[in-house]
Amino acid sequence: MSNEKYNTLAFDFGASSGRAIVGSFDGEKIELSEIHRFPNDPVFVGGTMYWDVLRLFHEIKQGLLKSRPYNIKSLGIDTWGVDFGLLDKDGKLLENPVHYRDKRNIGMLNKAFSYISQEELYNITGNQFMEINTAFQLLSLKLARPDLLSRADKMLLMPDLFRYFLTGEKTTEYSIASTTQLLDAENRCWSKRVIDALSLPEGIFCDIVPTGSAAGTLSDEICEELSIQPCAVTAVAGHDTQCAMVAVPTEKDDFIFLSCGTWSLLGTELSEPLINEKTLRCNVTNEGG
């Protein structure tokens, strides 16, 4: 095989830090090089905890600048789950995304159960019940800030939002969608039943694209600003847990993994969601990837 290397760029965002990694493949082996690392600190303003999304996008640009010697062919982005940004009809960000640990989520779980039963919600989504989940964050907006939600044209989860900033394309990658408690786990689409039960605006949800699908190219604006060449952008597994799971070094079907970050997660890989009375009772979560 040719010794020419294929270089790709990965941006990996955790809940406290981020990094840019160049992966090089020469036809036989993969090499990884960390080229940029940065903190990811929340910011309190007016009693609300936000993600500093503009600073984080600046760090993406710094990673792109540092990747110039590698002749990058493609890039992908993964982040933590559940959080999102809202865009208006002109594609402008309405406000900084709110951190999942913000107090606005308190009480939303029980409020949701007054609109749709716990059992039905779990049977549709297969998601562990946590007040931080996207469904309950959106419900808090519906109840406390309906004016903001009414101005929203689209909702983009964090990896999809960064990808939109780079390409102008508005899509939702499948694995990150499955963290929201709004996805029909069996049919792999947004659940109209859940969206309607919570009285959320159906139009804000973007088309769901398969993990690993093409998702545009770097925009001319970005390339001109940074003096870089355009490259393909891929909708990789947008949730960082799924990215870690894909890297588990096993070829066996029967295995478990332990992923440790700001959260520690124990799980395995199945061909279909596991949703029944026992998994509901144990609060087991199902996530696509």
Any idea which residues carry the catalytic annotation? 240
Q: Could you tell me if 229 and 219 are in contact, meaning their C-beta atoms sit under 8 angstroms apart?
A: no
Q: Is 59 within 8 Å of 18 (Cβ atoms)?
A: yes
Euclidean distance between CA atoms 252 and 74, whole angstroms: 29
Exposed/middle/buried for residue 195 (C-beta within 10 Å: 0-12, 13-18, 19+) = middle
Under 8 Å CB-to-CB from 76, ≥6 apart: which residues? 8, 9, 10, 11, 233, 234, 235, 236
Residue 232 near residue 74, CB atoms below 8 Å: yes
Q: Any alpha helices (H) in 67-181, and if so which ranges?
A: 108-113, 118-125, 134-144, 146-151, 158-167, 174-177
Alpha-carbon distance values, 184 to 56, 165, 201, 207, 239 (Å): 31, 27, 17, 14, 17
Please give the angle made by the CA atoms of 166, 172 and 178, to the nearest 5 degrees. 135
Distance between CA atoms of 130 and 263, rounded to whole angstroms?
A: 13
Q: How far apart are the C-alpha atoms of 267 and 231, rounded to whole Å?
A: 34
Q: How many other β-carbons are positioned within 10 Å of the β-carbon of residue 50? A: 16
